[in-house]
């Protein structure tokens, strides 16, 4: 009876192939297949007369257009996705029977959608926000969805508060402002009055919420899930995605400017990387806690506002995901993909985390309105790569043609099939946790410490990271109009750290907190981005160049940068070619108008002996801005003139003519990402 299908990395791609259509070079037809003879003019009674009702081509074209839009996601509306594969490093048999976590030779196809949370579908991408990180594994046993964020904890402990949180975060209802931002009264009013949010707010105010790239952020399953093995033994598990390029962020001023200069900054980065063959990679890690140890921690493992410090519960790296294929059509794939934390496979189960429990309801419910009915699982992107059979029938847009007379269970006419199968044959059996209790609406005592881990997060930050958090609070609360809300937030965060609360109270003109402070001294070095992987790979360097540059030297530097995986892009006052010595000519990629320093990771000033005052002025603006965003700056030859005197001896600024030495130091500076020890006024 079983129709087991071998899944490999290409299974999903093969399945999607039957739905792909190439329209290019084909005659135009109506949706009924009728060839169309004219597509510019509607059918009219006379050249200047009214359009005729019988113009079925006009009606069909217009009706389809009128219905092109579907509701955007209530949260995570702005997203971008890619296909890829997951490979396992070692069997996880000891902990889980999940099929895709058994055999390291099996590659599982995946589809990953990254998103911002608050903004609408057309909003900018570098706003301050959590990022969604949702992965669909198309496994032999059905789809498994890991629907996480780039922050390991959440604002609230119980799903019943999610509509309130989202109402407070979204643009305010009376004037629909501000777009894609938490810097407004209702959000902070919610925070001050729902203090379980303290820990996640610390993350949201940190550099984590302005990532440099989707490729340079972590992902977390957030909740505690359960791994269950063949013997029925369970472990609590938390999931982590660790980016191979390390965790890196923008600075706030830069992030805001990018929002205007390139609102598609993150999707462009992901798209281009995949097109260039620089496939984004993330390692999958798990933290495991034995069921017997459930109560051995100073937090409740069911509380989604708590993380498990990596120093206490190490992250075991078990596999790697590689994103290697862009979508063919954003609407068909990225927009119509339907994730659900309840899409599990045997061996992965839920816990009683009250946030998770509520999510298990919400996701199907939202797809029903968003995708228009109960058949969204039939959309190509959502279809499992294994067979699926049941007695569910009909509904809007049904595609499957279920043959036969029988659509009910139990039956005799179809030999009682499709039939449930035993656990041994792959049937999902819920973990048989013993549950007992009174029906109550209340919060467990063990969920009531809202501040210890928020303080631990603060304690774990480097000095620059702490300063960024203070600046973020000062910005966000500086945008809040209600003095009372501002003060409530100051008083709330005094419980996290007194210096922090005093610093932003001062910046926003609130009364410094009179009491508060925290006894917590614990820190978790793994939380600081200071300790992350630092590599030069795929960093974009803006090369400012004009006519009459030193051809051989510059070419040698550019070749060395490329050899390290760095991507130099040339900027000048005009497009076209610039000429250097030794007949070396280079093609310009951007002008000062179309390229901006905020769009690059580093700047290399080459200049040229034949550049005018306007060139110098534009170039200096570029350089100064990059400097103020702590970016690596290199300058050789004529380019040295473009570096202001007071920048020259600063960290991360490399100014010299010796090509080999310059290149080595500049690459080191690029690997460091940013130079926080630089004095910027």
Query: Could you tell me if 127 and 111 are in contact, meaning their C-beta atoms sit under 8 angstroms apart?
Result: no
Tell me which of 11, 149, 213, 452 binds ligand HDD, using CB under 6 A: 149
359 among annotated binding-site residues:
yes
Strand partners, 590: 571
Tell me which of 78, 113, 325, 343 binds ligand HDD, using CB under 6 A: 113
Name residue, tokens 């656990």. Answer: 423
Active site annotation includes 326: no
Name residue, tokens 């597509």. Answer: 39
- Among 88, 99, 83, 104, CA closest to 13: 83
User: Three-state SS for 352?
Assistant: coil
Q: Which is nearer to ligand HDD, 154 or 458 (CB)?
A: 154
Residue 239 CA to residue 461 CA, distance in Å, equals 22
Strands 348-349 and 219-220: unpaired
CA dihedral 635, 636, 642, 647 (to 10 degrees): 40
Query: Could you tell me if 255 and 126 are in contact, meaning their C-beta atoms sit under 8 angstroms apart?
Result: yes
Residues 588-607 that bind ligand HDD (CB under 6 A): none
363 among annotated binding-site residues:
yes
Residue 199 CA to residue 205 CA, distance in Å, equals 10
Query: Could you tell me if 337 and 81 are in contact, meaning their C-beta atoms sit under 8 angstroms apart?
Result: yes
Q: How far is the CB of 350 from ligand HDD (least distance, A)?
A: 13
Query: Could you tell me if 209 and 464 are in contact, meaning their C-beta atoms sit under 8 angstroms apart?
Result: no
Name residue, tokens 């962020």. Answer: 249
Q: How far is the CB of 286 from ligand HDD (least distance, A)?
A: 16
Residue 531: CA atoms inside 13 Å, Cβ hemisphere, count? 8
Q: How far is the CB of 167 from ligand HDD (least distance, A)?
A: 12
Number of residues engaging ligand HDD in binding (CB under 6 A):
26
Q: Which is nearer to ligand HDD, 341 or 580 (CB)?
A: 341
Active site annotation includes 76: yes
Q: How far is the CB of 618 from ligand HDD (least distance, A)?
A: 40
End-to-end CA distance of the chain: 72
Q: Which is nearer to ligand HDD, 300 or 491 (CB)?
A: 300
Site string for ligand HDD, 53-92 (x = CB under 6 A): --------------------xxxx--x-------------
Q: How far is the CB of 307 from ligand HDD (least distance, A)?
A: 12
Q: How far is the CB of 382 from ligand HDD (least distance, A)?
A: 11
User: What is the SS3 assignment for 463-479?
Assistant: HHHHHHHHHHHHHHHHC
CA R_g for the chain: 28
Name residue, tokens 């991507």. Answer: 567
Site string for ligand HDD, 19-58 (x = CB under 6 A): ----------------------------------------
Q: How far is the CB of 437 from ligand HDD (least distance, A)?
A: 21
Q: How far is the CB of 258 from ligand HDD (least distance, A)?
A: 22
Q: Which is nearer to ligand HDD, 113 or 377 (CB)?
A: 113
Site string for ligand HDD, 345-384 (x = CB under 6 A): ----------x--xx--xx--x------------------
Site string for ligand HDD, 119-148 (x = CB under 6 A): -------------x-x------------xx
Neighbour-count burial of 68, counting CB atoms closer than 10 A to its CB (0-12 exposed, 13-18 middle, 19+ buried): exposed
Query: Could you tell me if 172 and 186 are in contact, meaning their C-beta atoms sit under 8 angstroms apart?
Result: yes
Strands 602-607 and 540-545: parallel
Q: Which is nearer to ligand HDD, 268 or 342 (CB)?
A: 342
370 among annotated binding-site residues:
yes
Q: Which is nearer to ligand HDD, 353 or 553 (CB)?
A: 353
User: Three-state SS for 105?
Assistant: coil
- Where do runs of H (alpha helix) occur along 77-230? 162-169, 185-193, 198-204
Q: Which is nearer to ligand HDD, 339 or 457 (CB)?
A: 339
Helices (H) and strands (E) in the chain, counts: 15, 18
Point out the catalytic residue in the list 149, 497, 550, 573: 149
Q: Residue 159, interface with ligand HDD (CB under 6 A)?
A: yes
Kindly report the backbone phi and psi dihedral angles of residue 465, in degrees, each rounded to the nearest multiple of 5, phi listed first.
-65, -40
- Where do runs of H (alpha helix) occur along 304-426? 354-370
Q: How many residues does the chain have?
A: 681
Query: Could you tell me if 91 and 104 are in contact, meaning their C-beta atoms sit under 8 angstroms apart?
Result: yes
Q: Which is nearer to ligand HDD, 57 or 343 (CB)?
A: 343
Q: How far is the CB of 129 from ligand HDD (least distance, A)?
A: 12
Residues 208-227 that bind ligand HDD (CB under 6 A): 222-223
Q: Which is nearer to ligand HDD, 154 or 549 (CB)?
A: 154
Cα separations (Å) of 573 from 185, 226, 621, 681? Answer: 44, 58, 13, 28
By Cβ distance, which residue is nearest to ligand HDD? Answer: 132
Point out the catalytic residue in the list 57, 76, 223, 235: 76
113 among annotated binding-site residues:
yes
Residues 1-20 that bind ligand HDD (CB under 6 A): none
Indicate which residues carry an active-site annotation.
Answer: 76, 149
| Interface contacts to ligand HDD, rule CB under 6 A | 73-76, 79, 113, 115, 132, 134, 147-149, 154, 159, 162, 222-223, 304, 337, 339, 355, 358-359, 362-363, 366
Which residues line the annotated binding site?
Answer: 73, 113, 162, 359, 363, 370
Q: Return binding residues for heme.
A: 73, 113, 162, 359, 363, 370
């Amino acid at each position: 009876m079983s129709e087991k299908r071998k899944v490999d990395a290409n299974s999903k791609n093969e399945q999607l192939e039957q739905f792909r259509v190439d329209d290019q070079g084909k005659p135009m037809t109506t949706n009924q297949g009728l060839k169309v003879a004219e597509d510019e003019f509607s059918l009219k009674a006379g050249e200047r007369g009214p359009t005729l009702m019988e113009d079925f081509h006009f009606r069909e074209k217009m009706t389809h257009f009128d219905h092109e839009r579907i509701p955007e996601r209530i949260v995570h509306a702005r997203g971008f996705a890619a296909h890829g594969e997951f490979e396992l490093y070692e069997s996880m048999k000891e902990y889980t029977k999940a099929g895709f976590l058994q055999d390291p030779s099996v590659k599982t196809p995946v589809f990953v959608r990254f998103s911002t949370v608050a903004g609408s579908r057309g909003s900018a991408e570098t706003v301050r926000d959590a990022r969604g990180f949702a992965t669909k594994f198309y496994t032999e046993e059905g789809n498994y969805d890991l629907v996480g964020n780039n922050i390991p904890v959440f604002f609230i402990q119980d799903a019943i508060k999610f509509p309130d949180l989202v109402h407070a975060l979204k643009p305010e209802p009376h004037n629909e402002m501000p777009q894609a931002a938490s810097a407004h009264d209702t959000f902070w009013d919610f925070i001050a009055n729902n203090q379980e949010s303290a820990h996640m707010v610390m993350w949201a105010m940190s550099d984590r919420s302005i990532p440099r790239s989707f490729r340079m952020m972590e992902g977390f399953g957030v909740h505690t899930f359960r791994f269950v093995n063949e013997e029925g033994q369970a472990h609590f598990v938390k999931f982590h995605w660790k980016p191979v390029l390390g965790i890196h962020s923008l600075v706030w001023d830069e992030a805001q400017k990018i929002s205007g200069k390139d609102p598609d900054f993150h999707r462009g980065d992901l798209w281009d990387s995949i097109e260039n063959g620089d496939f984004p990679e993330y390692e999958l890690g798990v933290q495991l806690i034995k069921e017997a140890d459930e109560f051995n921690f100073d937090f409740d493992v069911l509380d989604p506002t708590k993380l498990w410090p990596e120093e206490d519960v190490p992250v075991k790296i078990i596999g790697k995901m590689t994103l290697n294929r862009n979508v063919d059509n954003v609407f068909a794939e990225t927009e119509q993909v339907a994730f659900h934390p309840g899409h599990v496979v045997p061996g992965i189960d839920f816990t009683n985390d009250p946030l998770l429990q509520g999510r298990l309801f919400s996701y199907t419910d939202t797809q029903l309105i968003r995708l228009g009915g109960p058949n969204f699982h039939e959309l190509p992107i959502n279809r499992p790569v294994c067979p699926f059979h049941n007695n569910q029938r009909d509904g809007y847009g049904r595609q499957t043609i279920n043959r036969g007379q029988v659509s009910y269970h139990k039956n005799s006419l179809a030999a009682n099939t499709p039939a449930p199968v035993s656990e041994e044959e792959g049937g999902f059996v819920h973990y048989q946790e013993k549950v007992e209790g009174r029906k109550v609406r209340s919060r467990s005592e063990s969920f009531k410490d809202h501040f210890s881990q928020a303080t631990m997060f603060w304690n774990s930050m480097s000095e620059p990271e702490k300063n960024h958090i203070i600046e973020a609070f000062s910005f966000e609360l500086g945008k809040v109009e209600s003095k009372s809300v501002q003060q409530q937030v100051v008083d709330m965060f005094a419980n996290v750290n007194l210096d922090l609360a005093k610093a932003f109270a001062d910046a926003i003109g609130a009364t410094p907190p009179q009491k508060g402070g925290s006894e917590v001294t614990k820190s978790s070095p793994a939380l600081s981005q200071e300790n992350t992987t630092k590599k030069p790979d795929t960093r974009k360097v803006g090369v400012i160049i004009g006519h009459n540059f030193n051809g051989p030297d510059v070419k040698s530097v550019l070749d060395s940068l490329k050899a390290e995986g760095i991507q130099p892009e040339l900027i000048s006052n005009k497009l076209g070619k610039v000429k250097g010595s030794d007949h070396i000519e280079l093609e310009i990629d951007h002008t000062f108008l179309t390229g901006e320093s905020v769009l690059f990771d580093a700047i290399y000033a080459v200049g040229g002996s034949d550049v005018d005052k306007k060139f110098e002025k534009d170039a200096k603006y570029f350089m100064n801005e990059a400097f103020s965003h702590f970016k690596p700056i290199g300058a050789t030859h004529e380019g040295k003139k473009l570096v202001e005197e007071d920048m020259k001896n600063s960290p991360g600024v490399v100014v010299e003519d010796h090509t080999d030495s310059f290149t080595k130091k500049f690459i080191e500076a690029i690997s460091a990402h940013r130079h926080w020890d630089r004095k910027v006024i």
